[in-house]
Amino acid sequence: MFVKKLNDCKEFTAGDHTLLRELFNPLKEEMKLNYSLAYARVLVGKTTTKHKLKSSEVYYLLQGKGIMFIDEEQQEVEKDDVIYIPPNSIQWISNTGNEEIIILCMVEPAWKPEDEEVLKED
């Protein structure tokens, strides 16, 4: 059995400026998974940096609300929304609420640094 506590996963600032904790990544731990799972926070009034992944990604919002941007589309999102982000899509999220956004992020195949490109700000 493989069990982790969220607070045992070290929080770091990801390339897109999300506060991130990797929960499961089969490239770093012996697990028979094809995906990685992370816990992310976006502080009130903050926006993540535009970025894209070679992999597909799914966000599940556990808390908060904001505007999700994927390529040329944008939509208001809130707690309990699930968002599919296709591979190679330019993505970012803006926190427009009065509490931090908390997201479970699943990347398939599993996230690796060379598969992510953080884009320069306009």
The pLDDT tens digits of the residues spanning 63-81 come to 999 999 999 999 999 999 9
In angstroms, rounded to a whole number, what is the distance separating the alpha carbons of residues 22 and 27? 11
pLDDT, tens digit, for every residue of 27-38? Answer: 888 888 899 999
Q: Is 1 a member of any domain?
A: no
Per the CB < 8 A criterion, the answer to whether 47 and 61 are in contact is no
Of the chain, the percentage scoring pLDDT greater than 90 comes to: 86
Tokens of 19: 């506060």
Which residue in 49, 39, 50, 58 sits closest to 100, CA to CA?
39
Q: Is 5 a member of any domain?
A: no
| Domain CATH for 105 | 2.60.120.10
pLDDT attached to residue 122: 60
Q: Is 8 a member of any domain?
A: no
Give this prediction's pTM: 0.92
